[in-house]
Structure formats: C-alpha cells, structure tokens
Amino acid sequence: MVTENSVLVFVELSAERAILPISLECVAAAGRLADSLGSRVLAVVMGNGVREAARELTHYDLAEVCLIDHPTLEHYQPELFLSAFLQVCECVKPKAVLMGDTLTTVDLAPRIAFNLDTGLITDCVAIESDKDEVCFLKPVYSSNVMAAYSFASEPWIVTLRSRVEEPGQRAEAPVGEVVSLDVEIDVAGTKTEVIQRVTEEDAGLKLTDAEVVVSGGRGIGGPEGFEQLSELAAILNGAVGASRPPVDLGWATPKAQVGQTGEKVAPTVYIAVGISGATQHVAGMQGSKTIVAVNKDPKANIFKIADYGVVGSCEEVIPSLKDALLEMRK
Ligand SMILES: Cc1cc2nc3c(=O)[nH]c(=O)nc-3n(C[C@H](O)[C@H](O)[C@H](O)COP(=O)(O)OP(=O)(O)OC[C@H]3O[C@@H](n4cnc5c(N)ncnc54)[C@H](O)[C@@H]3O)c2cc1C
C-alpha cells in the first residue's frame, strides 16, 4: 500500500451508493496537493455494499482506493465511522486528509482531529502551495476577509467547500486499485444508539448541486412570489433559494436559506430577486460564476457584486423573463 506523505480523501456516497460530487472535487484538490508534496492520493470509502463505488473510484486519479465494506456501516454512525477511519489512518499514516464540507463531516472531522491530536481547517475554499509552505484559505467575518492557515501538526485535516473545485476527470480504464481493509468494528462498545432516521422528503434538486439557483428575498412580497420563482427555476432546471427574511416569514423552507447561516452555494448562475445584498447573504453565494440581480432599488448592494442587473420590480421582471425563456426554448 502507498503510504508515505499521502493525501487521503474521505469519499461520501448517496443513499443510492453513488459517489457525491464533492468527493470527486476533493479528489481533484488532493491531486494538486499531492503533486506539491511529491506524494500520491488515496481514497477511503466505507459503508455496506459499497464495493461497486470503490471500483468506480479506480477510474479517477488515485493510487489506491481503501475499501471498508461492513454491515454495521450501512448508515453514518459517528462512533463506528470514527473508529473505522482511525484504523485507516493508523494503517496509511496520511500527511493530509481531505473531506467535503458536508453534514457528515461537520460531525466526523472534529472527532478525527481530536482523536489524532491535530488541527482541523473547515470550509476551505482554496489550497495554495509553494516550496516552503502549504496554505489553506477560508473566508471569515461573513466572507469579508480571506484567512490563510497552515498546520503545525500532522495529519492535516481539511474540509473543502462544495463547488470550489472542478471534479476530477474520469478515465475510461481503471487507474488505481481497490485494497480491502479489515477493521475491527466494536458495535457493542458504542455509547450512542441511533433510534430513528427521518429522511426529509426529496423536494427536487438540492441547492448545492444545482447549476442554476433562483433566490428570492423580502422584496418578493410573499409566498406567491416564490411560486413565480419556482416556475422560473423549473424552466432553467434550477433550484429555489431564499434570503433569511422569507425563511423567517415562512414563505420558504429553512433548507432554502442561502448565506452565512444557510447553505453556501456556487452555481453557474445565481439569480437574486428582491434581495438587498447584505453581507450575511452574500457570504453564501458570492462564489457563483455569474450573478444576476433583480431589484427595484438601483442603489441596492447586490448590484455591486452582480454581473448583470435589472432595475425593476420583480412583479414585472419575472413574468417577462419566464416568457422570454420559454420563447427561446421553442
Ligand atoms: C448573525 C446573522 C446571520 C444571518 N444570516 C443570514 C443568512 O444566512 N442569509 C441571509 O440571507 N441573511 C442572513 N442574515 C440577515 C441579513 O443581515 C439581512 O437582513 C438579509 O439578508 C436581508 O434579506 P433581504 O435582502 O431579502 O431583505 P431586505 O434587506 O429587506 O431587502 C429587500 C430588497 O428587496 C428589494 N425590493 C423590494 N420590493 C421589491 C420588488 N417589488 N421588486 C424587486 N425588488 C424589491 C428592496 O429594494 C431591497 O433591496 C443574517 C443576519 C445576522 C445578524
């Protein structure tokens, strides 16, 4: 097994055991980091019945894919996943561990760092390497400042924000190989028990996966405004987001909130409708490739970061935009 100085990627799977896009983004970032360290990238995939996902991973630029396939790892259970992952670290002794910044790693990454007595950098948006030092960048103070961190201990544990990297390229033929690891999983020794799992009803495309996000703010005026936005999003095959006031007012679900205390999104196109552009909102969407703003106030802050701006009321602009898009489709 390749071990020296390696960069280890923790790969996450969907309920259908498909590799999450963020994990492939981590593979790409890990590749560049490993190049700068003169090392190789390994991945670890754990779960129940996940061999196929491990095989699929061999088509990416990875030296080896460590597989832990065990019935007790069917669902994420903090203690079991932590124990399995620590055993992988014991075996691989990685220089760095890259994980997506997800609901699972928000729980798992600090446990790993604590157990390995090392540091953790969460929500990293870029990795900069030069000869002497590797820096991990993350936005702080509502994204008004970009902070650069480096580690004083090893392994480096880093969670990467979704969509700041292009996913790794899939090769036609397998590149690496799958290495099955036997780990001891002590179910009886766990202190926590999962009593119930509640799966939220899938309300269409996830905000963080969408190429187009159409978000509404207080200026949308009410739930009817969000119906208009949903129609617009459907035409664009996008997802509907919101600033915080519509969520607080019950016009949109909490899952739709974009910003400092909501989702961080970086779609190809972000359309902000009736949103003023407060720093707490901008913190969650400023990484979008193209920003379009619709606001009746020409002095609204959102125009400062918008690539395209429409000064007008959403009641007029949204129906016209929908009609124009439907016309283009014909
Ligand atoms: C700790 C903390 C965390 C926060 N986290 C978040 C967060 O995660 N996400 C978030 O979004 N906010 C967050 N906020 C709230 C944030 O500070 C702003 O209050 C919020 O983003 C404003 O939302 P808004 O732009 O929709 O509303 P407003 O600021 O009220 O702006 C409404 C805009 O709509 C325009 N408008 C009005 N009518 C129309 C119309 N008919 N047509 C077109 N435009 C119209 C107005 O010109 C205005 O620009 C947070 C605040 C705090 C203190």
Question: How far away, in angstroms, is 128 Cα from ligand 1 center?
Answer: 34
CA–CA gap between residue 199 and residue 6 (Å, rounded): 36
Q: Given its phi and psi angles, is residue 68 left (phi above 0), alpha (psi -120 to 50 degrees) or beta?
A: beta
- What is the average pLDDT across 227-235? 96
CB-facing half-sphere around the CA of 4: CA atoms within 13 A: 3
Q: Which of 22-31, 134-143, 147-156 has the lowest mean pLDDT?
A: 134-143
Q: What percent of the chain has pLDDT over 70?
A: 98
CA–CA gap between residue 150 and residue 148 (Å, rounded): 7
pLDDT of 2: 57
For residue 245 and ligand 1, the question of a CB distance below 6 A is answered with: yes
Alpha helices in the chain (DSSP H): 21-37, 51-57, 78-92, 103-115, 223-235, 244-248, 279-282, 302-305, 314-329
Q: Token pair of 227, please?
A: 């119906």
For residue 264 and ligand 1, the question of a CB distance below 6 A is answered with: no
Residues near 316 by beta carbon (within 8 Å), at least 6 away in sequence? none
Question: Which of 220, 261, 320 to probe ligand 1 with, by most ligand atoms within 8 A of CB?
Answer: 261
Question: Confidence band (pLDDT; 50, 70, 90) for 205?
Answer: confident
For residue 40 and ligand 1, the question of a CB distance below 6 A is answered with: no
Answer whether 0.75 is exceeded by the pTM: yes
Residues near 234 by beta carbon (within 8 Å), at least 6 away in sequence? none
Burial class (CB within 10 angstroms; exposed 0-12, middle 13-18, buried 19+) of 189: exposed
Question: Which of 214, 273, 281 to probe ligand 1 with, by most ligand atoms within 8 A of CB?
Answer: 281
Model pLDDT for residues 102-130, shown as the tens digit of each residue? 999 999 999 999 999 999 999 999 999 98
Domains (ranges, CATH) in the chain? 7-180 (3.40.50.620), 207-329 (3.40.50.1220)
Does residue 184 carry a pLDDT above 90?
A: yes
